[in-house]
Chain A
Amino acid sequence: MNFQDFIFYFFSGVLVLSALGVITLRNPVYAALLLVLAFFTSAGIWLLLEAEFLAITLVLVYVGAVMVLFLFVVMMLDINLERLREGFWKWFPFGALLALVLAIEIGMVLMGRQFNLDNMPIPQPHEAGYSNTKELGRLIYTEYVYAFELAAVILLVAMVAAIALTLRYRTDKKSPNPSKQIAVKRDDRIRMISMSSENEE
């Protein structure tokens, strides 16, 4: 076993344990934090596969942004475990079916010889100057540009829809309007009056 194997088994061990923790722990905050750990360790495994762009993006997007907001919600909500468990047996067959499909897929990969996966060449390690980010960028913006643009538009529509659903103008609440505040001129606020003194002195 060389050093790289050691790192791989260490990361895999942490990943499996933390993923188990995510689904077994009762405290939702712990579960969310372990999910963060799982993302982080899988990023480490991707780094071993020389997929540095994907690995760092996983940390940047999922750990740095998505899970922060997730934790935010989990910490603020008062989660009732009894209510969460209510539909367990009702949804059990569906979950079991999903698990079965997953197990079959994993089996197909592990028993690749029977399915002629040998035809797939083993990826060769790249030389030192190879930039995976550049290659990925080139592919996304040339060969897969339509798929990429489509995904971007779908995300944009989702974003606009989410904002449209939550946007309401309340009239019962006073809130400052910064552009109005900035646009205020001296003449809007004060009125100069010239008048003679009222005191008889």
Chain B
Amino acid sequence: MDHTQQLFEQMFGAEWGTTVYIVAKNLFYIFAIVVPLLLAVAYLTFAERKIIAYMQIRVGPNRVTFFGIPWLRGWGQPIADAVKAIMKEIIIPTGANKFLFLLAPILTIAPALAAWAVVPFSPELVLADINAGLLYILAMTSLGVYGVIIAGWASNSKYAFLGSMRSAAQVVSYELAMGFALVCVLMMSESLNLGDIVKGQQGDSLLNWYLIPLFPMFLVYFISGVAETNRAPFDVAEGESEIVAGFHVDYSGMAFTVFFLAEYANMILVATLTSIMFLGGWLPPVNIAPFTLIPGVVWLLLKIAFMLFFFLWFRATFPRYRYDQIMRLGWKIFIPITLVWIVLLGALMQLPESIKALFPLNLWFN
């Protein structure tokens, strides 16, 4: 029992002191995760605009700066955007259902933030070290679709409703492939705890990461993640050329911004989960002196940034999929691949010990 806890017990009595202490401590940790996350979201939008601009041989945002410092040109852009969004009026359409219309953005961002509770940043640094972490993540990411459906219905607009229905069908389809890819990960690690999944990838080098034995699952998971977050090339939910802007066509001001934030928060979440489950989380790529000296959190952040770059790269590169092509990819290609890989992995795990001790297999199945 430390000092702070004693202080709380003096203030609230012995019975409630511990409870209040635990609640206050967790609230502090939540702030410590969510505030940097939202800052990261703001600067991810900036990074996206800059990176796509350079890919298209433009300059991107280069005006707004802090205190007139010339070499910070452009870095004030996310802050300026946020101020603008807060100042704008939230227009509620006449025929809209006001309560659900305002509830929808909250329902979109809440699961995107709640999923971070079980993410391990280093062996000790995790808010909730629960046994069923992987299941919790799956459950939380599957809730995000409600915001989209409710937004589409509450707007009382045909464009918004079409967008939300496209999105709902797409998210439900890709969740299956995603779930099966995660089944492979949990077969390898024999644990649902995200911390244990990273520990299962520990070894001499990056050859031990699940990226190599589960390479097809890595691709399936990441591409399904792109589809789940409704990002290009799977962004038919927005589809500006057909249905204006999809489910958030009637949203303005901060209500729209919350949808926007949720999309980017989900991108960071998918990138983080990919790094944890396939790229060894906080583990360094090679277990030798200069790499092991760098703290694990830095490695995790580097891997997240690397995966996020793919999101932006995809958006700058690929044209939007046609809707039937999206469904075909999810149901007829990804799900069969994952099913085959589960059986294959099960067979590999049941090999006799003498074969499992041979070179490449001993890295993963021991």
Interfacial residues, chain A to chain B (CB-CB below 8 A): 2-3, 29, 33, 36, 52-53, 56-57, 59-60, 63-65, 68-69, 71-72, 75-76, 131-133, 175-176, 178
Contact = CB atoms under 8 A, between A and B. Distances in A.
Interface residues of B, number: 29
A64 B132 CA distance: 17
Contact of B172 (A33, A69, A131): A69
B150 interface: yes
Given A133-B131, A178-B328, A68 B139 contact: no
A68 to B, nearest CB: 6
A175 B149 CA distance: 28
A2 B143 contact: no
A36 B150 CA distance: 12
Contact of B149 (A3, A53, A71): A71
A87 B145 CA distance: 35
Contacts, number: 69
A3 B21 CA distance: 12
Nearest to A129: B131
A63 B136 contact: no
B130 interface: yes
15 contacts: A2-B15, A3-B16, A52-B135, A53-B135, A56-B135, A56-B139, A57-B135, A59-B139, A64-B142, A64-B143, A65-B175, A68-B171, A69-B172, A72-B165, A132-B131
Majority SS at the chain A contact face: helix
Contacts of B132: 52-53, 56, 132-133
Interface in B141-180: 142-143, 145-146, 149-150, 153, 161, 165, 168-169, 171-172, 175
A133 B153 contact: no
B135 A60 contact: yes
B325 interface: yes
Given A33-B150, A53-B132, A57-B135, A63 B192 contact: no
Interface of B: 15-16, 19, 100, 130-132, 135-136, 138-139, 142-143, 145-146, 149-150, 153, 161, 165, 168-169, 171-172, 175, 192, 324-325, 328
Contacts of A132: 131-132
Contacts of B100: 33
Given A2-B15, A52-B131, A56-B136, A65 B142 contact: yes
Nearest to A74: B153
Contacts of A76: 165
A56 B131 CA distance: 12
* Residue among B15, B132, B138, B175 facing the most chain A CB atoms (10 A cut-off): B132
A63 B136 CA distance: 13
Nearest to A56: B135
B243 to A, nearest CB: 16
Contacts of A72: 149, 165, 168-169
Contacts of B138: 56, 60, 64
A76 B169 CA distance: 13
Contact of B139 (A64, A69, A75): A64
A149 to B, nearest CB: 16
B149 A68 contact: yes
Given A2-B15, A72-B168, A133-B135, 6 more contacts: A52-B132, A68-B145, A68-B146, A68-B168, A71-B149, A178-B325
Nearest to A67: B146
B129 to A, nearest CB: 10
Contacts of B142: 59-60, 63-65
Q: List 5 tightest A-B contacts by C-beta distance, closest first.
A: A64-B142, A59-B139, A56-B135, A3-B19, A60-B139
Contacts of A178: 325, 328
Contacts of A29: 153
Contacts of A52: 130-132, 135
Contacts of B150: 33
